[in-house]
Structure 1
Amino acid sequence: MRQQVHEAHGMKDRVAFFLRRESGSAVVLAAATVVALVWANSPASADYFALWQREAGFYLGSVGMHMSLHHWINDGLMVVFFFLVGLEVRQEFAHGSLRDPARASIALVAGVAGVILPALIYLLVVGGDGVKGWGAVVGTDTAFMLGALAIVGPRLSGQLRVFLLTLTVVDDFLAVSIIGVVYSEDIRLVPLLVSLACLVALWLLGRSRQWRATPYLLIIVVLWFSTVESGIHASLAGMVAGLLVPAYPTQRHKVVEAKQLFRDFWQSPSAASGREVARGLAKGTAVNERLHEDLRLPTALLVVPLFALANAGVDLRGGLLSDAVGSSVTWGVVLGLVLGKFLGIGLATVAAVRFGVGRLPQGVGMGSVFGGAALSGMGFTVSLLIIGLAFGTTSELGRQATVGVLAAMVLAALLGWAIFRVAAARWGEDTADLPMVLSPPVDPEVDHIRGPEDAQLTLVEFVDFECAFCAHATGGWEDLHARFGDDLRYVVRHLPLTDEHPHALLAAKAAEAAARQQMFWPWLDLVFTRQTDLERADLIAYARELGLDVARFTKDLDSAEVEARVERDVLSAGSSGARATPTFFIDGCRNVGAYDARALSAGLEHSRRGTRTQDPV
């Protein structure tokens, strides 16, 4: 019985893990699409279309709102989706890939081209009343694209995934702007002014570093209501609201304060101290990140699939398929999404790299870029939303355009699959990610090793002496040593992030100067407690405190040998895929994801049993 319960819990965990991945959310979205199509073409199709036209609403005194279920989903729930997009864009600008000018430039060029060329192709193919549906080909469905990448893309595609996500940031911003500007009508001034006031209030909250989520959410509810009343499509307000919610890297001193609060709760548990712990934890992370984490899964597994259920159902009977084959609108959508995205993103990326406008992430080749560009032709969410705004989903043009979107999704996935296979076979692009294997391997003659040299398990950490989250700063190494003892050897290599930490390179050289007097580990343990004081004079004072030969230490600090030793570790980080600190390698394989002591312990245990796997996504 106990075994059955254990297996049931294991199955539940595996299902939950699958649903959290891109492939899992894409499967849920695809299932909702299939259900909508089957329902719309079944004997109960009348019930399907009648359901979404049912009215629902509320009154609060003299204020109220009534809309059909279809509008509640498209103008209400989907605002959550676009709000999530805005949160992601703000994160990318604050501490993500858009901080890097080279990546931001190439994403901007490719994203703009991936919007303009599809629209031009659509307009060249379509005429008459169908012209107003040109916006249906500008957007990419991130959930479907990433899900397809996980299924048909290279075995390891983490860096390609980052590139495509950065690109869709630009794509989504332009698509939502087009919705708000082109497909809004009957603008009413007073609600519009209320919406603008709400945006100003959100900006002021962000400037004041308000850490509570509730004030933001209350203002966003008012913003949504006033935007709907103003006549502007609420998707634009949702995305702009997300952009105004502040994002910033986790602050070390806030984490330390939260740790002290938890210690108080541990020593004297009470409702009051528990509430202070919750407040401290919330202050430790940006409100943007907390809202994103809370909304990401419900949006992927509920909001977007419900949108698909309400919008993807098109009645294919009565000759619609034959009409669609001869419809310029259908072909405009198919060619705009499949051909326009493929050529627009792919060729713009080639041009941007060739003319030095930007650079691709390490490990991503042009074959993978064109494969990802092909998958970007999966428009779906934004496409169906604009079709509804431009034509209405039940009109003849709307139904023909919807057929085009569904056909484009299948064709884009097949084209992407074919390109990835060719890229792997002809150009050797079987991965599109950073290296996963430690290079060079641990060498006891060169590396700094704590623990037995022949220990069963090896943990390598790339450190930066100004990094607030490296293992010695957080106490992670002590926990691991207590758990594994002499079964574990711990190796440290240097990765001074000089762009962020001005003293990191000098501190790394100082550690190697201390190592030349066999004092690397005492130096490491001491200096990680003095991270805010790493000037040259401070380092010399630490050498004196440890009893080192100060004259020799100072000479070694400036020597070419010490500089070369640090450079050896920096080159190792580059060839091993380490880009930030701390980065850990467990028995030579780069750890992906959480790096707390519990997560590393689990990885070490799996490695010891020979069951360790890495999921780079």
Structure 2
Amino acid sequence: MADVTDSRPRWHGVLERISQARRGDASESLAAVFMLAATVLALVWANSPWGSTYDAFWHTPLAISLGGWSIDLDLQHWVNDGLMALFFFVIGLEVKREFAMGELRDRSKAAVPLTAAVAGLALPAVLFLLLNPSGPAATAWGVVISTDTAFLLGALAVIGPGRAERLRIFLLTLAVADDVGALAIIALVYTDELRFVPLLVAVGGLLVIWQLRRLRVWRGGGYLVVSLVTWLALYESGVHATLAGVLIALLLPVYPPKRKEVERAAALARAFRQSPNPEYARNARLGLERAVSVNERLMRLWQPYTAFIIVPIFALANAGVPLTAETLRAAIVSPLFWGIVLGLVVGKFVGITGATAVLARLRPGSLAPGLTMPQIAGGAALSGIGFTISLFIVDLALDDDALADTARVGVLAGSVIALGLGAAVFRAGRSLLPEEPSRDLLRPVDVRRDHVRGPADAPLTIVEYGDFECPFCGKATGNIRQVREHFGDEMRYVFRHFPLDEYHPHARGAAEVAEAAAEQGRFWDVHDTFFAHADALERDDLIAYCADLGLDVDRLEEDLRDGDPENHVEDDEIDARSSDLPGTPTFYLGVGDATPQRHHGPYDAKTLIGELERMRASTAATSDTDVADPR
């Protein structure tokens, strides 16, 4: 877990390029392909003429000794207890980031997926226990509780609906909560024997890591030795050692870059450029690393390894079930097999879909804009793909080899059926709700969230999706001013963000600073200033404009660091992409309580005024008709 970015092997860059191939910092579909390939290889190996070598290889003992102390495990358990600690470490980093800066920070937005995750944990376990109420198989109820995030998001990318970013965020939030629940169950249920002295050492190690965080130690190497001691102590205590990865990750700090650290890194880089030498090179590298939180640096370091090496090795070590006629016959008549299939396929589908439907009915508007129940149902079906943690719990819960093989066959069968069910539900959903983008404004105007210029209850509405670096948006700002002068208090103007990163590299930063300024009630002042200086939107320029306007710059920096401005901009952007907007500026026009409609065509002041007048006249004529003919 050390932060050793200066000594990464050359092929780490290859893994990073692979992981960035499709979407941002991760490629779920590619990770799923790697895992699927490893699973197929394990099955082929275990069922080949050389199948006996599969068990022989993975049960090869490997011991590490130091004086009279030693750890003696076979290769499979070194993978499951050792390498998988890194997998759970990355999960812990992601969970911490989501709670600190991501979707889980806003509890109101996370309420639906969190509730669905709880239902998706509980109902599968109940269904499993209905078929396996007692006996050795009953201990395997934890096999059905977890969703494999990599397979889930990979399958969604391949068979899911278009413009499914909202569904992806919903499922990712659900999967994070699912992982937290699964890890808690592993810790509480699958710990056989507890030894208190090593446990106290492990707790001491966690306290040392917490103290390092309080001391603002930013070098990853400072945490490495303590982390290794904590892992060893937790292993010796009887608690599953992989949980050390999660606990350590949850203690590591995560935050957006601090401005003073960024400026310091830039100064060190300038010094190196002016006088290139090894000492200045080292200082510049360390300055750049210090500007980014330990959480994000370690996540960047380890994600490619876990996605493309560690998890596939885990699949190779655990998925090799001999699919003989005897094994399959035993599985087909086994309540263990059917309990796993029922839990994964029916439990996840009904639990997640049902809980979401109930909450959406009790709390109208709780679903994110553009997220539909057919989409939720398809994602819930795919959530039955329980692979990595399911196989992991098979190894913890079942000592009998025959039962363990039956359980693995159940996991494989349930995951395949869940994939097919998800594809069928998505296909049915597309026939019920065609995917052509609607002309309606996806997210209704909310005066508590949106930036509104003019009376909040004005009868006429213009919503613009814009970009501070877009020259056409800057011109449109003048047009809107003329429209507002024409209608006066009869019109309200709403601005939402749609930063086009590919063309305007500074637009996103400007949008986030504008949202931070909104916390001080100065959004529109900053909005006008940024458009007036659209050709100079470097970070220092943005902060200087805010200072000139009299904003509290220190508070602005703190608000930027808490993640809310970033999340607000991302929400607007997802709405725009889900609506398939062609670019910026894009306008929606509305009259009264009717949903604003997307405006096509010119957006000069005369055209916008004429269109709003036409819509108002049409609405008035419709109202007169309704009064004259009450039928």
TM-score range for the pair, normalised by the shorter chain length: 0.7 to 0.9
State the AA in 2 paired with 1:577.
Answer: D
Alignment of 1:160-309 (within 5 A): 160-309=167-316
Unaligned 5+ segments in structure 2 are 1-12, 443-463, 480-494, 554-567, 587-631
Q: Does 1:411 align with 2:417?
A: yes
Q: CA separation of 1:463/1:283 partners in 2, compared to 1, >3 Å: closer, same or farther?
A: farther
Q: 1:473 to 1:224 in 2, by over 3 A?
A: closer
User: Is the CA contact (8 Å cut-off) linking 1:368 and 1:429 kept in structure 2?
Assistant: no
Identify which of 20, 28, 32 aligns with 1:26: 32
1:9-48 aligned within 5 A: 17=21, 21-48=27-54
Aligned match of 1:427: 433
* Aligned residue in 2 for 1:497: 515
Asked whether 1:471 is paired with 2:485, we answer: no
Matched, 1:533 2:568: no
CA 1:371–1:463 in 2, change beyond 3 Å: closer, same or farther?
closer
Q: Aligned-pair distance for 1:155?
A: 2.4
C-alpha separation between the residues in 2 aligned to 1:298 and 1:538? 42
- CA deviation vs aligned residue, 1:525-565 (integer Å, no higher than 9, x gap): 997352452656999xxxxxxxxxxxxxxxxxxxxxxxxxx
Cα distance between partner residues in 1 of 2:187 and 2:573: 45
- In the alignment, does 2:371 pair up with 1:377? no
**Cα distance change, pair 538–167 in 1 and its aligned pair in 2 (3 A):** closer
Structure 1 alignment gaps of length 5 or more: 1-8, 450-459, 475-491, 540-569, 580-584, 591-617
1-structure distance, mates of 2:310, 2:535: 54
Distance 1:24 1:448 in 2: 46
How many percent identity over aligned positions? 40
CA distance in 2, matches of 1:357, 1:183: 40
> For this pair of structures, how many residues does the alignment match?
508
Aligned to 1:577: 575
Q: Which residue of 2 aligns with 1:548?
A: none
CA distance in 1: counterparts of 2:249 and 2:524, whole angstroms: 40
Residue pair 2:506, 2:537 contacting (<8 A) in 1 also:
no
Distance 2:101 2:378 in 1: 27
CA–CA distance in 2 between the matches of 1:233 and 1:344?
A: 28
Instruction: Verify: 1:78 aligned to 2:84, yes or no.
Output: yes
Give the aligned residue type for 1:471.
H
Counterpart Cα distance in 1 of 2:311 and 2:304:
10
User: Structure 1: how far apart are the matches of 2:268 and 2:184?
Assistant: 44
1:446 counterpart residue number: 476
Superposed CA deviations along residues 211-232 of structure 1, whole A, max 9, x for unmatched, are 1111222211111111111111
Counterpart secondary structure, 1:446:
helix
Kindly tell me: are residues 18 and 576 of structure 1, through their superposed partners in 2, closer, same or farther at Cα, counting changes over 3 Å?
closer
1:154 aligns with 2:161: yes
CA distance in 1, matches of 2:570, 2:51: 61
Q: How much has 1:446 moved relative to structure 2?
A: 2.4
Residue 137 of structure 1 corresponds to: 144
Change (3 A) 1:35 1:310: same
Task: Return the letter of the residue paired with 2:128.
Answer: Y
Deviations along 1:371-429, whole A, 9 cap, x unmatched?
1111111111111111111113x622111111110011111111111111122221235
Match of 2:4 in 1: none
Distance in 2 between residues matched to 1:51 and 1:302, nearest whole Å? 18
CA contact (8 A) 1:102 1:358 kept: no
The verdict on how the C-alpha distance between 1:493 and 1:104 changes in structure 2, with shifts beyond 3 A counting, is closer
Instruction: Choose 353-362 or 170-179, whichever is displaced more.
Output: 353-362
Q: 1:348 to 1:529 in 2, by over 3 A?
A: closer
Q: Residue 476 of structure 2: SS of its match in structure 1?
A: coil
Instruction: Please show how residues 49-68 of structure 1 align to structure 2 within 5 Å.
Output: 49-68=55-74
Partner of 2:132: 126
Which has the larger displacement, 358-367 or 419-428? Answer: 358-367
- 1: distance between equivalents of 2:552 and 2:86? 51
User: 1:507 is matched with which residue?
Assistant: 525
Letter aligned with residue 526 of structure 2: A
Q: Distance in 1 between matches of 2:186 and 2:574?
A: 43
Is the Cα–Cα contact under 8 Å of residues 136 and 398 in structure 2 kept in the other structure?
no
Report the RMSD for the aligned CA atoms in angstroms.
3.8
Letter in 2 for 1:186: E
Letter in 2 for 1:29: M
Structure-2 change in CA distance of 1:191 and 1:329 (3 Å): same
TM-score normalized with structure 2 length:
0.73
Partners of 2:286 and 2:260 lie apart in 1 by 14
Deviations 1:466-493 (A, max 9, x none): xxx983898xxxxxxxxxxxxxxxxx99
1:503–1:535 Cα contact (<8 Å) kept: no
Whether the 8 Å CA contact 2:123–2:343 is kept in 1: the answer is yes
